[in-house]
Structure 1
Amino acid sequence: MQLVRQNEKSRRRWTARRLSVAVLAACALASGCAAGGGDATTVRPAPGQQPLKAPPARALDSYATRLKAERARVVTAAKRWGLAAPPLAAPAPPARKPHIEPRKGFEVDDQKELGLPPVFTTIPTKKKIVFLTIDDGAEKDPAFVRMMSELKIPYTAFLSDYLAKEDYGYFTTMQRAGVGLNNHTLHHPYLPGLSYAGQKREICGMQDVIEKHYGKRPTLFRPPYGNYNQDTLKAAKSCGVKYAPIWNAEVFVDRMDYREWDRDIHPGDIILTHFRGREDWKGTMPDMIRTFMKYVTGKGYAVARLEDYL
C-alpha cells in the first residue's frame, strides 16, 4: 500500500513538472512573458527532455515598426522629388517563379527543340505590377540614382559597352543598390544584319565586360531595337543567356507608348525606357520617372523587380 502511495506521489510530481513546462512555453509563445522581456528564452526542461526555445516575442512588432518607418521615408521622399503620390509597395515575389514561354508570334524556328532563350514582353501574373527596364547607358545622372534609391523603385538595366565604358563606376553604384546589370551588346548593332559569329562577338563580348567590371555574367539579354533572329538567340544561349525580355510599353519624359492595341498597361508588363537627358528629351531622367510613376500609381500598379520573377 505504501508503495502504491509513493508511486502516486511520483506520478503527480511528474505531471506537475510537465504542466509547468507547458504553461511556460505557451506563455512565451503567446505573449512573450518568459524571462528576458520577450527575447528568445530557454525554458527549463523536465528530466530527460530537450530545452524548449521560445521564439522572439517582439519580432513581429519590430518588423512592423521597421516597415512603417521605411514607408514614412518613402512618403517623405516622394514629396521631396515632386511625385504626385508615393509609389505603391510591390507584393513579395513568388516563391515559385512563373514559367516563361516565348510570346506568341515572337518565336524563331526550332525555338523549343534548340532550347533557345524566350523572347517575351510580359511576366505571367495576375498582380497589378509592372517592371521598369532601362537601356543603353548614355545619360549618367547621379540625381536619378539618388531618386530611385530614396523612393525604393526597382529597375533593371541593359547596358551597351560603347556607352557604359564612359563611366563604369556609375553603374557600380546602381548594382550596390540591388539593380541588375544585363546585356545589351557591345555596340548596339542591328543584330539580324550580322553573321552568327558577328552576333556572338557582340553578345558574348558584353558578357565578358559585365563579368569583368561587375563580377557576374548576366542571364538576361535584350537585343537592340528588339530585333533578332535564330542566330541571335543561339549566340545568346552559347554565352549563358537564359531570357531575352523585350517590352510591352515605353516611357518617355512626356508620354507613354504602347505595343498593344488598347494603349494601356497590363499586369506583368515590361516597360522600356532609356538612359537619356536633355540632349534627347525635353527633360531629365527624374522628370521621366515623375511621368512614369504618376501614370502607373494612378492606375493602381506597383513596380516590381524583373529578376525576382525569373
Structure 2
Amino acid sequence: MAALACAALASGCAAPGAPAPAPGREPGRAGPAQALDPQARRAAEHARLVAAAQHWRLDRVPLTPPAPPAGKPEITPRDGFEVDGQEEENLPPVFTTVPTRKKVVFLTIDDGAEKDPAFLRMMSDLKIPYTAFLSNYLVKDDYGYFRRMQSEGHTLNNHTLTHPYLPGLSYEEQKDEICGMQTVMKKQFGKAPTVFRPPYGNYNGDTLRAAKVCGIKYAPIWDEEVFVDHWEYRDWDRSLHPGDIVLTHFRGRDDWDGTMVDDMRRFLNKVTREGYAVARLEDYL
C-alpha cells in the first residue's frame, strides 16, 4: 500500500497534512506542470487517503459515500417516538435512522466540551463528514475551534444553551434554551440551524413545539453510540443499519481512557469493516 502511495503521488510520500505543491508547478521545477488527467487524479487522491489511513493507524481506508440523493427521503418520526399533536401540528420529527437503502451511516458529535486539534486534522485528512450539535456553555470559550470545523464543510447544529433535561422545564423555559441557542448560532456562525438534538435524547410535546417556533425542522437523535472503548446500541440486533445515525461526544482523556482520535479510529474501523461509508446527514434532509 505504501508503494502505491509513493507511485501515485508525483511529490513522493509525504506526511498527511503536509502542504501540497503550488498548483501548476512540479516539485523542484519552475515551469508549469501538465495537469493530471481524471484517472491520475483519482489515483493520486487514493494514494493520499492510503497514506492518511496509515498515519492515523486505521485498519483500512474509509469508504467513499455515494452521491447525495437527487430526491430527499421523507423523514417521519420513529414509531413510538411521536408526541400528541405530532402530525396535526406538523412538529419536527424525532428519528434515529434516515430512510435509505444505501450502506451509509451518519456521524454526529454532541456538546463541544473537548476541542482537540488532532481530531480536526484527522477528519480533514480522511475527508470524513460529521454534524456537530453544540451547547453554548461548553463552546463559548472557543467559538473559533468550531468556526474552523464549519469552514471545512461540517454542519453546526443546536443542542441548547445549557444542556438541561428539557422535559423538566416549562414550555417557555424550553423555548428560551432552544431559541437562545439559535441566536448564538446565528451570531457566532452566521446561520441559525434547522436541526436540533434534545440533550440526552429526552423531549416532550413542549420541546417539539418550542423547537418549531424557533425555526427547527428536524430533531434527530441516534441509533448507536460509540465510545473510545465500546459501542452501545438502541436496537435488539446490536447492528448497524443503512441510514443509522451514530452519536459520539466531544470528549478526551479527562472523561475517557483515550482521545477523540482513538474514538474515531474505533468508529471508522467498524463501519468500514462492515461495508458502510460515512455520509453527510444534511445531504439527506
Bin of the TM-score, shorter chain as denominator length = 0.7 to 0.9
TM-score, with structure 1 as normaliser: 0.80
Compare 62-71 and 149-158 and name the one that shifted more: 62-71
How does 1:62-81 map onto structure 2 within 5 Å? 62-81=37-56
State the partner residue of 1:95.
70
State the partner residue of 2:125.
150
TM-score, with structure 2 as normaliser: 0.86
User: Partners of 1:214 and 1:112 in 2: how far apart?
Assistant: 32
For residues 78-100 of structure 1, give each alpha carbon's deviation from its aligned partner in whole angstroms, at most 9, with x where no partner exists. Answer: 00111010100000010100000
**Greater fraction helix:** 1
User: Partners of 2:104 and 2:144 in 1: how far apart?
Assistant: 30
For residues 168-216 of structure 1, give each alpha carbon's deviation from its aligned partner in whole angstroms, at most 9, with x where no partner exists. Answer: 0000010000000000000000000000000000000000001000000
Higher Rg of the two aligned structures: 1
User: Partners of 1:81 and 1:138 in 2: how far apart?
Assistant: 22
State the partner residue of 1:23.
none
State the partner residue of 1:202.
177
User: Partners of 1:102 and 1:258 in 2: how far apart?
Assistant: 19
For residues 287-306 of structure 1, give each alpha carbon's deviation from its aligned partner in whole angstroms, at most 9, with x where no partner exists. Answer: 00111111111101100000
Work out whether 1:248 is the aligned partner of 2:234. no
State the partner residue of 1:258.
233
Q: Percent identical across equivalent pairs?
A: 70
What SS does structure 2 have at the residue aligned with 1:74?
Answer: helix
- Offset of 1:72 from its aligned partner? 1.9
For residues 220-260 of structure 1, give each alpha carbon's deviation from its aligned partner in whole angstroms, at most 9, with x where no partner exists. Answer: 00000000001000000001000000000000001110000
State the partner residue of 1:5.
none
How does 1:219-298 map onto structure 2 within 5 Å? 219-298=194-273
User: Partners of 2:132 and 2:52 in 1: how far apart?
Assistant: 23
User: Partners of 1:192 and 1:67 in 2: how far apart?
Assistant: 50
- Offset of 1:71 from its aligned partner? 2.2
State the partner residue of 2:150.
175
Query: How many equivalent pairs are there?
Result: 251
State the partner residue of 2:284.
309
Match of 1:160 among 131, 135, 138: 135
State the partner residue of 1:184.
159
User: Partners of 1:65 and 1:112 in 2: how far apart?
Assistant: 51
For residues 148-181 of structure 1, give each alpha carbon's deviation from its aligned partner in whole angstroms, at most 9, with x where no partner exists. Answer: 0000011000000000101000000100000000
Unaligned regions of 5+ residues in structure 2, if any? Answer: 1-34
User: Partners of 2:224 and 2:272 in 1: how far apart?
Assistant: 16
For residues 266-296 of structure 1, give each alpha carbon's deviation from its aligned partner in whole angstroms, at most 9, with x where no partner exists. Answer: 0000000000000110000000011111111
User: Partners of 1:141 and 1:255 in 2: how far apart?
Assistant: 20
- Offset of 1:68 from its aligned partner? 3.0
For residues 35-89 of structure 1, give each alpha carbon's deviation from its aligned partner in whole angstroms, at most 9, with x where no partner exists. Answer: xxxxxxxxxxxxxxxxxxxxxxxx9x84444333222211110001110101000
User: Partners of 2:84 and 2:273 in 1: how far apart?
Assistant: 41
The one-letter amino acid of 1:176's match is S
User: Partners of 2:175 and 2:39 in 1: how far apart?
Assistant: 49
What SS does structure 2 have at the residue aligned with 1:273?
Answer: strand
User: Partners of 1:190 and 1:66 in 2: how far apart?
Assistant: 49
The one-letter amino acid of 2:149's match is M
